[in-house]
Amino acid sequence: MAIKERMSGNEAVSHAIGQINPDVMPAFPITPSTEIPQFVSTMIANGEIDTEFIPVESEHSSMSAAIGSSAAGARTLTATSSCGLALMWEVLYVAASNRLPIMMQVVNRALSGPININAEHSDSMGARDSGWLQIYAENNQEAYDNTIQAYRIAEHPDVKLPIMVCQDGFITSHAVENITLLEDEPVKAFVGEYNPEHYLLREDETMSVGPYALSPFCMEAKRAQAQAMMNAKKVILDVAKEFEAISGRSYGFFEEYRLEDAEYALVAIGSACGTIKDAIDKLREQGMKVGLLKVRVFRPFPGEEMANALKACKAIAIMDRCEGYNGNGGPLGAELTAALYRAKATAEVVNIIYGLSGRDVTVGDIEGIYEKLVKLAEGENLFGTYPYLGLRSR
C-alpha cells in the first residue's frame, strides 16, 4: 500500500536507506548532504536499522573506508557534496576500477571558488569520467525512487560499478514536498540481500583488491570496466520496469515532456525541469510546439537515444548547470552535441549555462529561451556565441 507523506529530499533518501538497511556507512559532514548521515545515524541509535556507521576525518577517508568495506563484502554507502566529492577524487577512480558497487548520495552544490553552498552540478559533473554510474532527480519523489533502484543496478553481475544518486542542494534536499513512499517489505524484497561472488573475507578464496596492473593487463581491465558501463544501460531499464511493477512510477534514461510533436526543445537535468514544464504548459496554450527532454541518467550517457528523441526538433537548447571552462559550454552540451552530430541531426543547437551557484531560473526566463529558439530555427541567432542565462549586466 502506498504511504502519503511530506518529506525533504534528504529525509526521503534517508528513509529509503533505512528501508534497505545497508551494512556499512562511512561519512563526513558537508552542507547540504550533512542531514543524510545524521538521519541514518539516528535510525541506528534508535535501533531501527543495524547499519555500521563509521565517523571519519575527511571525505577522502570516507570513500577509502567505503572501498575497504565494499571489498570485504559489505553493502556500503556514503553521502557528500561539492568539495567533499572533490576531496574523494583519487579514490573515486579506485572504487570504480575495483568494480565495487558502492552507493553515494550526492547533494549537488557548487565547487569552490568563490565559496558558495548552493545548487550547481559542477561537483558530480567534474567526476563524470571517474567510472561511476550517475542518476539525477528532479524532485524528492525521484530522489527516493532512484535510491531504491540504485543497488539493483550497481550490484548486477553485468555491471558491478559504484553509483551516484544525485539531487539539487537545498532546492530538493531541504525543501519539503508531498511524496509517496513504499512499505518496507516490498522495498526489502525488491532490493534483496547482497551476496557478492568474490570478496576479501570469503574464507575459501584468496584474492587481492586494487593490485598494481602491469601494461599487458591494465588496458584490458579498463576495457572491461567500460563494457560494464555499457551493460548498465539495459540493466537500468530492466530495473526500472520491475520498480514500476511495485510502485506504479515509470523511469527510463530520460523523461520526454510534451516532446512527441515539439519543434523546439530544452534539454536539462534536475530541479529546474519543474520550472521548464510550467513554461511549456503556458506556451502550449499559446500554440507553440515546445517540449523538454529531462535527463535522468548521465552515466552511462544515452546519447543515441536522446538524439533519436530530439530528431524532429528544429532548434534545441541544451542547459548546463555548471561551467565546462573549455570556452564552449558545459559537459551536457558537449556530449549531446556530439551525439546529435553522429545522428546527423539537422536541428540548430545552442548550449546555455544557467543556475550557477543557485541563481534563480524563472518561467519567464524559460519562455525567453523558447522565443529565441524560434528565431534561431529561422536563421536569426539572438543567443550569441556563449550564452549565460540571467547574467547581470555591468
> DSSP of 146-192, one letter per residue?
HHHHHHHHHTSTTT---EEEEEETTTTTTSEEEEEEPPHHHHHHHH-
Looking up residue 118, the CATH number of its domain turns out to be: 3.40.50.970
Label the pairing between strands 163-168 and 24-27.
Answer: unpaired
Q: Is the dihedral of CA 202, 208, 210, 215 positive or negative?
A: negative
CA-atom Rg of the chain in angstroms: 21
**Non-local CB neighbours of 116 within 8 Å, separated by 6+ positions:** 109, 110, 357, 358
> Distance between CA 72 and CA 103 in Å, rounded?
15
Instruction: Report how many domains make up the chain.
Output: 2
**pLDDT number for residue 231:** 98
- Closest alpha carbon to 361 in 323, 328, 388, 336: 388
- State pLDDT tens for residues 305-360: 999 999 999 999 999 999 999 999 999 999 999 999 999 999 999 999 999 999 99
**pLDDT number for residue 304:** 98
Residue 169: inside a domain, yes or no?
yes
Residue 282 sits in the same domain as residue 181 = no
Geometric angle at alpha carbon 198, from 197 and 204, rounded to 5°: 105
Residue 218 sits in the same domain as residue 301 = no
Residue 109 sits in the same domain as residue 229 = yes
CA 244 to chain centre: 19
> Distance between CA 326 and CA 217 in Å, rounded?
33
**pLDDT number for residue 154:** 98
Residue 7: inside a domain, yes or no?
yes
Q: Which residues pair with 78 in a beta bridge?
A: 104
What's the residue count for the chain?
A: 394
> Distance between CA 254 and CA 168 in Å, rounded?
17
**pLDDT number for residue 155:** 98
Residue 263 sits in the same domain as residue 322 = yes
HSE-up of residue 390 (Cα within 13 Å, Cβ side): 17
> Distance between CA 284 and CA 263 in Å, rounded?
12
Residue 219 sits in the same domain as residue 332 = no
Q: Is the dihedral of CA 268, 272, 273, 276 positive or negative?
A: negative
**pLDDT number for residue 394:** 57
Read off φ and ψ for residue 180, nearest 5 degrees. Answer: -110, 115
Residue 57 sits in the same domain as residue 193 = yes
Read off φ and ψ for residue 86, nearest 5 degrees. Answer: -65, -35
Residue 383: inside a domain, yes or no?
no
Q: Which domain holds residue 290?
A: 254-377
> Distance between CA 141 and CA 139 in Å, rounded?
6
Residue 386: inside a domain, yes or no?
no
- Output the nine-digit C-alpha cell for 308: 533519436
Q: pTM for this one? A: 0.97
Residue 384: inside a domain, yes or no?
no
Residue 153 sits in the same domain as residue 104 = yes
Positions in the chain whose pLDDT score sits under 50: none
Residue 193 sits in the same domain as residue 333 = no
Of 194, 218, 247, the one marking the end of a domain is 247
